[in-house]
Every structure is written in structure tokens, then in C-alpha cells.
Amino acid sequence: MTRVRPDPDRQGKFLGEMKAQQKSRLYFLGLFVLLGLVPLVLRSEYYLHVLIAMFYHVIYATTYRFILRTGQFHFGAHAFVGIGAYASVLLVMRAGWSFWLAMPAAGLIAAFFAVLIGYPTLRLKGIYFAIITWGFGDTLRFIYMRFKEPFGGPLGIFAIPGPNPITIPGLITIDFSQKTHFYFLALALMIVTLYILHRMEQSRFGLIFGAIREGDRLARAVGINIMNYKVLAFAVCSGLGAMAGSFYAHYTYYISPLDFSVLLTIYLAIYTVVGGQERYAGVIVGTVVLMLAGEVFAGYSHYQLLMYSGFLIVILLFLPGGLISLPGLLTRVGSRAEEKEGEKFRNDPA
Amino acid sequence: MKARAMIWGKILMVVAGCLLLLTGAPAAEDQPKEVLLGGITALSGPAAPWGIGMQNTWQMAVDDINNGGWWWQKKGFTVDGQKYNWKLTVYDHAFDAAKAVSAANRLISRDGVKYIFAFDGGMIKAFQPISERAKVLTVAYASPGKDYINPQNFYTWMYGVDCIAAVIFYPWLEKNTAYKRIAILEPDHWTGHTTAEASRFGISKTQLEIVFDEYFPPDTTDFYPILTRIIKTKPDLIDIGNVDPAARALFVKQAREMGFKGPMYLITPDIANLKSVAGWENCEGLYFLPYEIELTPGQKHIEKVYIERYGEENWIGSLAYLLWDFAFWLTQAIEEAGSFDTTAVCNHLEKMKLKSVFGEPAYFAGQGYYGINRMPLYPYNVCQVQKGQLVQVITGAYADYLK
Amino acid sequence: MEITELIQITVNAISIGAIYALLALGLTLLFGIMDILFFAHGAMYMLGAYAAYYLCTKLGLNYFVALPIGVILIGLIGVVMEKGLFRPIRNDHVAIIFLAIGLNWFLESTGFVVFGLRPKPVASVFTGQAHFFGATISWERAVVVLIGLLAVLALYFFLMKTRWGLGMRAFAEDPLTAELQGISNDTVCSLGFLIGCGLAALAGLLVAPIFILTPTMGSHAVLISLLVIGLGGLGSIPGALISAFIIGIIESFGTSYLGADITWGMIFIFVIIFLIIRPTGIMGVVRE
């Protein structure tokens, strides 16, 4: 039943494409430098907010995609983001930790939960895993709701302090009183996350996940312990997502169980598919494009959801490679071979 | 020649300029400038019927101010000799704190809004750090909670919300009826919890007994199991104060099916919904807070215009009256303070004598409860469905404990 | 007194269970036959309920005339969707899930635009209540329970006893072999969507007079159905029936004895733990 699906990441190991990769790495570097300069030009707090929201959504979405790439249909990203937010807030507000300790700790806690949930369930294919992760998310919401102490109940936790100020003596003090400071923190978090995940995808790890995707049995036969790798990927991605959740909590000052509903995961799924899950940059493109487009319908959530889901349907039917494959398709439009390749893509089983 | 031509040219220009000033300037002065008034409410999700009603009401109030309707006898308002008009911009938060924060950022940082009308305490608490820091005057339509109305939040104001009427209703109930056992049921979200709190506070002033006090998941549609549990406690009255419009109608219907014949207590009733879903005969004995039969001229005006514009089926009842006044008070305060500066406006609002569609006197109170005067007080009315007719049972009461 | 209460709670449990079973039926069928987790089931259910509103309240049709019209109409919408949207990507299971998710939320948000934001009621057909042993149930609920159980039985017999059902089961077993045996995959898929969406619409039409209609009702329903069919074992019709009643019993007894705010969380915890211990659900088999 399963035919081997062509995998651009793996094909990218050829020398010619290695160069292209280096080139795209350069593009990314340039992009990050540009993003770093943005606050010098852009004074509007609103646009900074849009960018900050985009940054942590990029983290959510790339980690979400990575789990999808291990061949698991993840439906509980909101659970781990929520763990990150609540854990970090409680560590800061109750245990008196510094934010800079609490954020990684929140990531570790989420990773721990990911292992706990992942170990028994990652062996399950697709839907069961989806149901369990989704149910886990809603169970957590239930716990946040019911236990007023320490989770704040349905009213949530408010007056969350921002990150502790950093002072570099004689140079500057970053006290997170301005959006610009949050902007740089979010940007740094995003770059670190993207880098970690990129390294993972380029390493032996990524190869193994290619194998896992192409057929569990095959990889198992070769002697790879899939479970460990899957759990590891699940834990790392959940942990990174949770750190972004921790950032979100300290950035918005207020969290409630309502914030971590399954709708978040659905949005992430839409970003991933619209951008194109085959390529690493796809999900980033998807998140950025959709979030910008979403701002147009800012006031009306159901129009926003209408546009997002409409986008999703159109992409799935007409552009299975996602937005990221669009330039490629346009430049190679003459080549029939490529078209056939695309056709094969579409008809192949997952 | 050349120099002369230039001088003539200059003179011509000056004359033209003067002419322009003479003819154009008054026209420009007459042309009112637009000032943005922000709104953040739920335009989608289970509370959307309320949210849309709010948007409609705010729009009507703004139009009345701009066009000199109702008691606002002039077109627009004037600050420092310049005429202004309001322009309303409403964003949706769909009960998602992140969306509420985004909406607040959009209004405050992008659109430069200085005044925001907003719905639901949870959402307001989410963006309050932003609005307070930017000194944006925020008016909350939400249950009264000390956690967001307090002296630290100088710029946050309240609509005269109805759940405080519990403090009028329950003492009245104790005095005038034989009811003893009260069951409180609220949805499991911010508004539900704070409303239940207000009811508990009202009941604590009396000898009435709370026999049931619980919350249900907001998306519940089947109330049979909960009703089984409630009816077991044999309540005389069920308080479903702030249950969402769709759910409360179902609740009333199912409660009657399960054989509960006693009265229920609802605030801001969505009468149209109740009639069509629960059936009017099932509404017998329900207390509506606050609901008016003997409408004041202001309320008549609102009802008439609302139904003309948005249709009978979308009429939201007393919610429209509650949300009406503040736009006028705010405009009056800006005009009288002679400035858009929110600190000055806040200080002026505190001292103002208010004109309310609920009647007079109306004024801001709350010092005793919140430590700051942020909640408008005006006379409250309560009515009950008796033999298919709405009968006003309490007229013109004040929630005095707030002073 | 105690015993009447117990009967009442049991009656409530049966009524909840029957509604959940009805909801989950189409979803589990599509999963069982075509291995599709059809999220848009929720939207179909919502459309069914609105069909009741438009046919009965707006056009003034008799409810029993509206019932088959609505079911067939939405079943046909399902067939159109299958032919137009799902057939091109039939073999890509991940894409199909995403497509179904997209469709569900697309139809839901379109619902807001088309049907309006205010909740809509549908007038009751059966009024009054039935009483037995001191317990109360409204007639309209009793009818839903009855029709719900009949639908489950009818579907079961259709799959087990008819040639069409045999064909569908053969397809579920192995599409390629079924094709070789002369069972057209395309026909089976269309039929699956016709029945699946029809059942969703039936659920919607039936509960419309009991509940209140909002465009979001579908998403809530599909998530509950997901829980039901997960617990029952994906793709298993008897499993869905049993688990619907188990959840109904937990919900009814839990709410009546412990409170509504605790119960829904307990259901989640129960299902999760059950699935972690026994991932196949009550009746299902794990598919590779």
C-alpha cells in the first residue's frame, strides 16, 4: 500500500542543493537581522504586538509541524502551551522564581508531561493519538477550572508580572516596560527554537523521521528504536512550545483556561498545511501569511475563521505542497516532469 | 517689470489666501472632526446575541450624539471651539483573552483610541494592564468585581450592571413572599462566577437559604441531569441570573418539563428568545431584573429606534437601556472638562449629575465597596410574569450598599 | 423517593446516551468504512438542524415531511463533497483529516454569515411529558431515543445483511481486492458519504426541536462524538452504541450526584485513562 513518498529534505542531501541550503540559511540570517532592526524604525506598539504574536505563533507552529513530521496526528498542542503558561506563572508568582528560571523549567515540565503521555500513546497510529492528546488538553483545562487553588479557576490568573529586568552594568537596563523589550525576547526565542528544530531536522534525527514516516515497519526492521525517537521529538517540541506559552503568559499578564482550547491547535494545523508541511520554511510562511491576512478581518473572528478554513481547503485541493511550493511551481511551470511529480505527490498515501 | 509682476503676484496670493480663509475657514470649522470610540465585545460565540446587541446600542447612542437625537440637542460636541463627531469601531474578542488583548492593542496603539466600551470582566482583565498604562478610559459591561474595579485602576469604569440588583431583589423577596430556599446556577465562566457572587452577597443580607450553588459547562444544552439534582434540593426559586441567552431559554423550558413550577430569577432577559424557545406559558412566575413596563421616555425612544433599525427579533430588551447612557455621560464630561485628556474626564465624571434613561437622580457611587466611585447608581425596577402579563413588582429602588 | 430519583437519572442517562449514539453513528461509519475521521460531521449535523428550521419554521412544512427531505438533501451535499473534494485526495489520510477540519470550520463560519448570529428555535412537534414510575421525560425526547435506537439497528442490519453492506465491508477490509471483485470504490465512497452525512443530518433534524440552533453546535457535537467513538473503538457501531450509553450514564449520574462542573472533566479523564490502558477502545481493532 505504501509507496515511498519523495521527500525534498532527503533529496536535499545532493551537493547542488546543499549550496541552495546554505543560500537559504543566508536568507534566514539576513531576515533575522532585518527583524532585529524593525523596532528602530517601527514605533507603533500595535505593529510590534502583531509581530510579537507572530513570533510566538511561529514557535507553536514549527513545533507542531515537527510532531506531525514524525508521523503523528497531534491534536493537543494547546495542552502543552497551557502547561508552559501555567507552570511558569505559578513558579514565578507562588514559588518566587525568576522568570528566566521559570521559563526553561516550564519547558522541562511540559517535556516531562509529553514523555508521560507520549510513551504509552505514541505507539498508536493517527486518530487514537489525536483523541488522547486532545482529551489530555481538555482534561488539563478541567483541572485549571476546578482547582481554584493554585490555578485560579475559571477566572484565570491575572496581574502576572513581566520578565525580571536584566541590567548590563554601565550599558543598558531591559526592564520589559516597553513592547520593544518583549519584541527582542520573542525574536530571540523564535530564532533559538527555529535553530534547534532545524538542526534536529538536518541531523540523523531528521533522516530517521523520514524513515518513520515512510513506514514504521521499515525503520523498525532496520533496527531503529522508533519509540525513543518519537518520544524525544514529542518532548522537545512540547517543551519548546511550552516555553513560548510561558512567554505568552508573561507578555499578556493574564491567562485563563479559555485561552488554551482546541481552537489553538486547529489554527496551528491550518498554518502548517497552508504553508506546506513538506518544507521547513513552509510552516513559517503559512503562519506569517495567515496571521497578517487575519489582521484584515481583525474585528470579526468568524470571518477570520472563514478565510482560514477556506484557504486550507483551497490549498489542500490545488496546492498540496502549500504556499511554499508556489514559487517553485511557477518557475518550473514548463517542465512536465515536475508536474507529474506533483501529481504523484497528491495521489500518494501518507 | 519683473519685480512688479512678482509683487502683484504676492498681493494676489495674499488676497486669495484671505478670501480662502474667509470663505473656507468657517466651512472647515463647521466640518466636525471624527473622534474614535472603541468597542471590544463578543461578536461570535455563545454570547454573540448580547455582543451584537451591544454594538447596535452603542452605534445608536453615537448616532444620536452626532445627529442631535434624544436629549442631545446639538449635532456632535465641541471641545476648544472645534466640533467633533464620534466614530464607533468595534472589535470581536470571541471570549478569547488573546484576541481581547490584540483588539485592545489595535484600538489603543494603532487607531489611537482613548475611550473603550468593553464587555465581560475576564476579557477586560486581560487587557486592563494595557489600557490603564495608556490611560485609556475603559467602560466595562461586566459583573462587578473588586479585582478590576479598584483605586489602582483609575481609568476603568462600569456600566450600571444588573447583577447588583440582587441586593435589591433578595431583601424584597424575603419581605414580600414566603420563599425561603434559593438555588443558584450559573455558567462556568467569569461572568457566571461573578454573578453568582453578587447573588450570594444579596442573599447574605437576608435570612434566605442557599440550597444549591453550582456551575455548569457553558456549552451545555441538556439540563435534565442538573435539574434532577436541583429539584432534589426543593428550591422555592432558581436563580439563573446571567446564563447565556440561548442556554437560559432551554433551561426554562426543560425545568418546566421536569416539573419545576416555581419562579426563576433572570437578569437582562432576552424576552424574544424566551418566548420562542421556552414558550411564554413556561415563563409564568419569572422575575426579570431589571425590566421595565412603565418605560421612561428615554427607554421608549431606544426601543422604538432599535426595533426600527435592527428588527423586532433582534431586540435585546433592558440590556439596551443599560448600555445607552454612558456614551452621553462621556461626551458631556469631555465637553464640560474642555479636553480629551482622560484624567480630566475621569475627575469630571466622578462629580457629574447624570441624566439616565432609568430616571433620576443618578450618580457614580461605589466608594464604600470598591474604594472608588466607578459604578453609576440609578433607580432599578423589577418585574414578574403574572398570568402572562409583565407586572412591575419593584419600582425605583437603589442599590444603596455601594455608597 | 430515592427510587424515583434513580429511575429519573436512568431515564436521563438513556436519553443522553441515545442522542450521543445518534451523533456518533455517521462518524463511526465513515471511519469504519473509509478510514476517514470526518470532522465536518459536526457541520452536517448543524446543517441538518438548520434544515429543520428553514423547512419547518420558514416554509411551514410538516415536521415529518421535512425530516426525509432534510436527510436526503444533506446526504446529497455529502455525496457532492465526496466527489468534488475528497476523491482527489482519497489516499492521503492526513490531508483528508485536514480537509475535513477545514470544511467543518468553514461551514460553521459560513453558518454565522448565512444563518445569522442569533440562536434559532424550532417549534416542538410532540408536546407534553411522559410519566412512568415517577420519572419524567418529554415526549419529544422519547421519540428521539426511539428513532436513535432504530437508526443504529437499521444501519447495523444494512451493513450486515444487505449486499450493499457486504460491499462496503469488503471495501473496508481491502479496497483493492474489493475493486477486483467488482465492487466500485467510487460507489462505495459515495454511498458512505450519503449515509454518513444523512445520519448526521438526521441527528440534527431530530434534536432541533429539543435544543437551540447556533452555528457552533456542530463543533461541540463532533468533539463529543469523537470521544464516544474513541471510547467505543473507532469504526465499530456496537462499540459506539455501548460507549454512548456509558458516557450518558457517567454524565447523568455524575451530574445528578456530584455536580455538572465536575462531571465533564471526569468523562475526559475516564476516556483518556481507558484509552491509554486499552487503546483499541471497547470494541475496536488497531489499524496499522
Nearest CA in chain B to C215: B45
**Per-residue pLDDT tens over the stretch B313-334:** 777 777 888 888 888 899 989 9
Beta strands in A42-196 (DSSP E): 166-168, 172-174
How many whole angstroms separate alpha carbon B287 and alpha carbon B289?
Answer: 6
Of B94, B97, B122, the CB nearest to A301: B94
Note whether residue C225 is domain-resident.
yes
How many whole angstroms separate alpha carbon C268 and alpha carbon A76?
Answer: 13
Q: B54 touching C, CB under 8 A?
A: no
- Shortest distance between the Cα of A72 and any Cα of chain B, in A, equals 28
Of A130, A305, A346, the CB nearest to C89: A346
Q: Are strands C129-132 and B181-187 parallel, antiparallel or unpaired?
A: unpaired
Residue whose grid cell is 440562536: C119
Residues of C in contact with A130 (CB under 8 A): 37, 97
Per-residue pLDDT band at A215 (split at 50, 70, 90): low
CB B377 within 8 A of CB B369: no
Residues 6+ apart with CB under 8 A from C252: B224, B225, B228, C9, C10, C12, C13, C16
Q: Stretch B153-165: mean pLDDT, rounded? A: 80
Q: Is the pLDDT of residue B2 over 80?
A: no
Of C5, C19, C117, the CB nearest to B48: C117
Of A120, A132, A309, the CB nearest to C105: A309
Angle between helices C41-52 and C217-232 (to 10 degrees): 130
Neighbours of chain C (3+ CB pairs under 8 A): A, B
Residues 6+ apart with CB under 8 A from B20: none
DSSP state of C38: -
Inter-chain touch A252–B102, beta carbons under 8 Å? no
Q: B246 touching C, CB under 8 A?
A: yes
What pLDDT is recorded for position A54? 92
Q: Which domains does chain B have, with CATH numbers?
A: 34-161+296-378 (3.40.50.2300), 164-289 (3.40.50.2300)
Residues 6+ apart with CB under 8 A from B27: none
Q: Are strands A166-168 and A172-174 parallel, antiparallel or unpaired?
A: antiparallel
Inter-chain touch B97–A258, beta carbons under 8 Å? yes
Residues of C in contact with B273 (CB under 8 A): 118-119, 121
How many whole angstroms separate alpha carbon B229 and alpha carbon C9?
Answer: 9
How many whole angstroms separate alpha carbon C247 and alpha carbon C252?
Answer: 8
Determine the 3-state secondary structure of B83 from DSSP. strand
Selected residue of C118, C129, C207, C252 to mutate for chain B interface (largest B Cβ count, 10 A): C118
Beta strands in B76-136 (DSSP E): 77-79, 82-92, 115-119
What pLDDT is recorded for position B72? 80
DSSP state of C283: T
User: Which range among A149-163, C60-74, C88-102 has the greatest average pLDDT?
Assistant: C60-74
**Per-residue pLDDT tens over the stretch B278-296:** 888 888 888 887 666 777 8
**Per-residue pLDDT tens over the stretch B199-256:** 888 898 889 999 999 999 888 888 988 998 899 899 999 998 888 777 888 899 899 9
Per-residue pLDDT band at A250 (split at 50, 70, 90): very high
Q: Which ipTM did the prediction report?
A: 0.86
Inter-chain touch B98–A252, beta carbons under 8 Å? yes
How many whole angstroms separate alpha carbon B287 and alpha carbon A123?
Answer: 57
Q: B230 touching A, CB under 8 A?
A: no
Q: Stretch A196-219: mean pLDDT, rounded? A: 76
**Who wins on pLDDT, C2 or C74?**
C74
Q: Using an 8 Å CB-CB cutoff, list residues of chain A that contact chain C.
A: 68, 73, 120-121, 123-128, 130-132, 134-136, 138-139, 142-143, 145-146, 216, 262, 266, 269-270, 273, 302-303, 305-306, 308-310, 312-313, 316-317, 320, 346-350
How many whole angstroms separate alpha carbon A327 and alpha carbon A342?
Answer: 14
Give start and end residues of each alpha helix (H) in A215-300: 216-222, 226-252, 262-275, 280-296
Inter-chain touch C109–A143, beta carbons under 8 Å? no
**Per-residue pLDDT tens over the stretch B88-128:** 989 888 777 878 888 888 888 888 899 999 988 888 888 88
Per-residue pLDDT band at C80 (split at 50, 70, 90): very high
Note whether residue C90 is domain-resident.
yes
Inter-chain touch A145–B188, beta carbons under 8 Å? yes
Inter-chain touch A309–C102, beta carbons under 8 Å? yes
Domains in chain A: boundaries: 48-260, 263-278+297-350
Residues of B in contact with A159 (CB under 8 A): 129
Q: Return the percentage of chain A with pLDDT > 90, whole number.
A: 30
Q: B112 touching A, CB under 8 A?
A: no
Q: Is the pLDDT of residue B25 over 70?
A: no
Nearest CA in chain C to B251: C211
Cell numbers linked to C208: 432541533
The overall average pLDDT reported for chain C is: 87
**Who wins on pLDDT, B32 or C284?**
B32
Give start and end residues of each alpha helix (H) in A276-331: 280-296, 301-318, 326-331
Inter-chain touch A127–C37, beta carbons under 8 Å? yes
In this structure, is the dihedral angle defined by the CA atoms of residues B81, B108, A166 and A171, taken in order, positive or negative? negative
**Per-residue pLDDT tens over the stretch B332-388:** 899 888 888 889 889 888 888 888 888 878 888 887 778 888 888 888 888 888 888
Inter-chain touch B125–A252, beta carbons under 8 Å? no
Selected residue of B90, B188, B222, B251 to mutate for chain C interface (largest C Cβ count, 10 A): B222
CB B205 within 8 A of CB B167: yes
Q: B149 touching A, CB under 8 A?
A: no
Determine the 3-state secondary structure of C123 from DSSP. coil
User: Which range among A213-222, B20-29, B62-71, B128-137 has the greatest average pLDDT?
Assistant: B128-137
Cell numbers linked to C144: 428521539
Inter-chain touch C262–A146, beta carbons under 8 Å? yes
Q: Stretch C82-89: mean pLDDT, rounded? A: 86
CB B115 within 8 A of CB B65: no
Q: Cis before residue C215, ω within 30 degrees of 0?
A: no
What's the distance, CA B377 to chain centroid?
13
Determine the 3-state secondary structure of C74 from DSSP. helix
Residues 6+ apart with CB under 8 A from B176: B393
Residue B37: phi and psi, rounded to 5, are -120, 120
What pLDDT is recorded for position A220? 66
Which long-range contacts does A95-100 make (Cβ < 8 Å, 24+ apart)? A98/A164, A99/A161, A99/A162, A99/A163, A99/A164, A99/A250, A100/A163, A100/A164
Cα dihedral value A267, A270, A276, A281, nearest 10: -10
Selected residue of C256, C262, C263 to mutate for chain B interface (largest B Cβ count, 10 A): C256
Inter-chain touch A299–B90, beta carbons under 8 Å? yes
Nearest CA in chain B to A50: B102
**Per-residue pLDDT tens over the stretch C121-152:** 888 888 788 887 778 888 888 888 898 889 88
What pLDDT is recorded for position A334? 53
Residues of A in contact with B93 (CB under 8 A): 301
**Who wins on pLDDT, B45 or C158?**
C158
Q: Is the pLDDT of residue A109 over 80?
A: yes
Note whether residue C282 is domain-resident.
no
Per-residue pLDDT band at A222 (split at 50, 70, 90): low
CB B115 within 8 A of CB B101: no
Inter-chain touch A53–B98, beta carbons under 8 Å? yes
Neighbours of chain B (3+ CB pairs under 8 A): A, C
Of C119, C136, C212, the CB nearest to B259: C136
Nearest CA in chain A to C91: A349
Inter-chain touch B215–C129, beta carbons under 8 Å? no
Range of the domain at C184: 2-277
Q: Using an 8 Å CB-CB cutoff, list residues of chain A that contact chain B.
A: 44-47, 49-50, 53, 145, 153-156, 158-159, 248, 252-256, 258-259, 263, 298-302
Q: Stretch A312-326: mean pLDDT, rounded? A: 86
**The CATH number of the domain where C25 resides is what?**
1.10.3470
- Shortest distance between the Cα of A122 and any Cα of chain C, in A, equals 10
Selected residue of C86, C87, C90, C97 to mutate for chain A interface (largest A Cβ count, 10 A): C97
Q: Is the pLDDT of residue A11 over 80?
A: no
Residue B34 bridge partners (DSSP): B85
Note whether residue C287 is domain-resident.
no
DSSP state of B76: S
Q: Is the pLDDT of residue B151 over 60?
A: yes
Residues of A in contact with B108 (CB under 8 A): 45-46
Q: Is the pLDDT of residue A338 over 50?
A: no
Q: Is the pLDDT of residue B130 over 90?
A: no
Of the given ranges (A2-6, C2-6, C223-227), which has the lowest mean pLDDT?
A2-6
How many whole angstroms separate alpha carbon A60 and alpha carbon A267?
Answer: 10
Q: Stretch B39-59: mean pLDDT, rounded? A: 83
Of the given ranges (A334-338, B198-202, B254-258), which has the lowest mean pLDDT?
A334-338
Cell numbers linked to C171: 471495501
- Shortest distance between the Cα of A235 and any Cα of chain B, in A, equals 25
Of A145, A252, A263, the CB nearest to B126: A252
How many whole angstroms separate alpha carbon A73 and alpha carbon B51?
Answer: 36
How many whole angstroms separate alpha carbon B332 and alpha carbon B325?
Answer: 11
CB B106 within 8 A of CB B96: no
Residue C130 bridge partners (DSSP): C137
Number of domains comprising chain C: 1
Q: Is the pLDDT of residue C286 over 60?
A: no
User: Which range among A98-107, B13-22, C33-42 has the greatest average pLDDT?
Assistant: A98-107
CB C7 within 8 A of CB C137: no
Number of other CB atoms surrounding residue A249 within 10 Å: 28
Note whether residue C102 is domain-resident.
yes
How many whole angstroms separate alpha carbon C232 and alpha carbon C246?
Answer: 9
What pLDDT is recorded for position A344? 46
- Shortest distance between the Cα of B146 and any Cα of chain C, in A, equals 25
Of A45, A248, A301, the CB nearest to B44: A301
CB B145 within 8 A of CB B194: yes
Nearest CA in chain C to A132: C272
Tell how many helices (H) and how many strands (E) occur in chain B. 15, 15
